[in-house]
Amino acid sequence: MPEYLRTAIVAIHQLPPISETLWLRIIGRGNVQKQAIDELEALTPDNPFRKAALELLYNLQQNLQVTQNQDEEDRELLMRLAPLYQQDREQAKQQGIQQGERLVVENLLKVRFGEIDNELQAIIEPLLTLPPEEFTPLLLQLSREELIDRFS
């Protein structure tokens, strides 16, 4: 193609199996796609590339679901991607809950004791190992010294 069109043809099945080509290989077909999805599954859940790829794949999944004439490979792709995306959503939900619990603990400590100094900061993580129905009464009832003694 002429350079001014800024267009290229990519032979997806000939791309090297490296992280920079993963997204293109996922939208490929056959064994190339299967291998790319395996590579995506192998990435750690906190990998930013995995998160970004799953978001793009979710959009692709939504578009494919709207399409009336899906072929067998499209249906197989949707089935393979559904658990990956569900796992990612569950992890994001859990992280949101943990952040919310942390904010509750920090706010209760601030309201009760003013600023959060190093001693109070050190007890936040141990407090968060308890469920909210257990740590909330402790934060409301125990004195500063009792909390530090109990969770240090």
Q: What's the pTM? A: 0.57
Evaluate if residue 71 carries a pLDDT over 90. Answer: no
**Predicted pLDDT of residue 92:** 84
**Predicted pLDDT of residue 68:** 67
Distance CA 13, CA 61 (A): 21
Provide the 3-class DSSP secondary structure of residue 7. coil
pLDDT in tens, 104-152: 999 999 999 999 999 999 999 999 999 999 999 999 999 999 999 999 8
Annotate 120-138 with b (16+ C-beta within 10 A) or e (fewer). beebbeebbeeeeeebbee
Q: Quick one: DSSP state of residue 34?
A: H
Between 3 and 135, the more confident residue is 135
Evaluate if residue 67 carries a pLDDT over 90. Answer: no
Determine what percent of the chain is predicted with pLDDT higher than 90. 45
Measure Cα distances from 120 to 101, 102, 103, 108, 142 in Å.
16, 13, 14, 11, 13
**Predicted pLDDT of residue 132:** 92
At how many degrees (to 10) do helices 132-141 and 118-128 cross? 150
**Predicted pLDDT of residue 148:** 94
